[in-house]
Amino acid sequence: MDKDLKNKTLEELEEIVEEFGQKKYLAKYIFTFIHCKSAKEISDISPLSKGFRGQLIENGYHISNLNIKESLTDPDGTVKFLFVMPDGNTIESVLLFDDKRKTVCVSTQAGCSMNCSFCATAKLKLKRNLTTAEIVDQINVIESEHGKVNNVVFMGMGEPLNNYDAVLKAVRILNHPAGKNIGIRHITISTCGNAEAIRKLAGEDIHPRLAVSLNAATDQLRSKLMPVINKKYPIAKLMAAAKNYQAKTKQRVTFEYILINKVNDSLSDARKLCGLIKHIKCNVNLIEYNEHPHCDYTASSKENIKLFAKILSDSGIETVIRFRRGRKIKAACGQLGADRIKKS
């Protein structure tokens, strides 16, 4: 049985409290102290009686904690954190500043199994899924150093929907009014295209924003860039799942498209993308490719990116260009873990 209190929703904590014959409301103190006051030990939860705290500890309950091994700051203000977990695995998270808003990009797996050709993290291979506690604690630790976080994006290391249960529980914890109370519209799950999990998420009672890493408008090209996921869920299945999510949740779906020089950035590619997504209520984030030493791809020119964006915009598709952030510290999209590939 899992005894990490940081892994528990408020409802799960209520069940634990009642098992010890205590009043149900005490669970809220545990939840709030862990997620709002960064309690690191059960002994830190002062509203609980000394006897009850002792009972929890004697029965093996504990509060896990991530440790920062290092942090790096880019000239543009972006901060990258390297966390070490008890088993020796490492993950990275990124803090982005946009005026007064703070966005944390969290990891959901140590490594990744998707083998996307443009991504540094893919070179690390999958080590394991993160626990819910390890996911939410990335935000706890960053907030303790940099203050309140406004947005959370599940876009770090790993494929979030391949760690579905832990990720969804993390969303519930982050969104809960007794905890960080981060609005559900300020939480985004990014997937490389797990169509089955997208359909499952559409049927939940809580709906974060959905971002789909598309990167190509044809199966031939997408299979070159994203071979693992596109073999299992080709574009037709993925688009059907995205349409289903949009229809059930009444939310726009975001499509992410990394622009790689002379690979997927032609004007013909742009027109094909328009044809593919024009029947879905959506928006597109065009992402400037972030180069790293472990891949030969290069970034599209800024001029070409703007021309690509104009074709989408002229077709009535809301389009935003995301230029590089955190590139000098390898904190940009697709770069996480690049510093440790040779050591893996």
Q: Which is catalytic among the residues 92, 134, 159, 288?
A: 92
Note if 333 is an active site residue.
yes
Structure tokens at 280: 């879905």
**How far is it, in rounded angstroms, from Cα 189 to Cα 185?**
11
| Residues 47/39, Cβ–Cβ less than 8 Å | no
Neighbours of 57 (CB within 10 A): 13
Note if 274 is an active site residue.
no
**How far is it, in rounded angstroms, from Cα 317 to Cα 285?**
11
| Residues 167/136, Cβ–Cβ less than 8 Å | no
Report CA dihedral (139, 144, 150, 154) to the nearest 10 degrees: -10
Neighbours of 271 (CB within 10 A): 15
Q: What angle do CA 80, 82, 83 make, to 5 degrees?
A: 135
- Chain centroid to Cα 236, Å, comes to 24
Strands 187-191 and 151-154: parallel
Q: What is the three-class DSSP state of 133?
A: helix
Q: Which is catalytic among the residues 105, 282, 295, 333?
A: 333
Cα distance from N-terminal residue to C-terminal residue, the chain: 31
Q: Which residues are catalytic?
A: 92, 333
